[in-house]
Amino acid sequence: MARKRVAIFISGSGSNMETLIRSMAEPDHPAEPCLVLSNRSEAAGLEKARALGVATSVIDHKPFAGDRKAFEAAITEALARVSPDIICLAGFMRILTGDFVAGWEGRMLNTHPSLLPKYKGLHTHRRALEASDMVHGCSVHLVTPELDGGPVLGQARIAVKPDDTEETLAARVLAMEHKLYPAVLRSFAEGKTAKLVLT
């Protein structure tokens, strides 16, 4: 069967993108990367993608001055050139409109640094610490128009330590994302629907 083509959207360091691309190099992997798209030309992940031999595209949101539809039309044009089957959001820090999301519903994944449905949105590590949570983690979910609200495909848990700071927690959660996201992408591309749980 033809491998599924994956476009990865980033805004920053792209460490999740890198682990996704490296995982797809496994010879029996059901998917392959076709594009890394960033809304920031200075995103460090772009250089990593190029070094891994994956095509990149920058669609800067700033010239669109809040016109999300026009921004997304430019994204759609870039995607049309590579015909992806799946979009993986990997630290992509722009909110996509309901129309764009609807066009990709069931084919767009996101990684989020909390155990959803807890802590949708930003500052998830700070909020977990403020709530004195003993367990924290990350989730990979299907993207729906509700922010961070789509069906969860996989979760990884970590224990919160008494001396954890936002930074130490973020680092351990990120390390779990690097295990979870490739595992979920693989099983999603294979057409499996069972939820993955890593501990």
Break the chain down into helix, strand, coil percent, rounded to 5: 35, 25, 40
Could you say which of 4, 8, 9, 14 contacts ligand GAR (CB under 6 A)? 14
**Binding flag, residue 33, ligand GAR (CB under 6 A):** no
Out of 9, 177, 180, 186, the residue judged to bind ligand GAR by CB under 6 A: 177
What residues from 91 to 110 belong to the interface with ligand GAR (CB under 6 A)?
Answer: 91
Q: Is 112 a catalytic residue?
A: yes
- Burial environment of residue 144 by CB neighbours within 10 A (0 to 12, 13 to 18, 19 or more): middle
In angstroms, rounded to a whole number, what is the distance separating the alpha carbons of residues 194 and 34? 26
Query: Site map for ligand GAR, 114-153, x if CB under 6 A?
Result: ----------------------------------------
49 binds ligand GAR (CB under 6 A): no
Q: How far is CA 105 from the centre of its chain?
A: 15
Of 33, 17, 37, nearest to 84 by C-alpha is 33
Which residues make up the interface to ligand GAR (CB under 6 A)? 10, 12-17, 45, 90-91, 111-113, 174, 177
Give the residue numbers annotated as catalytic, written as ranges.
Answer: 112
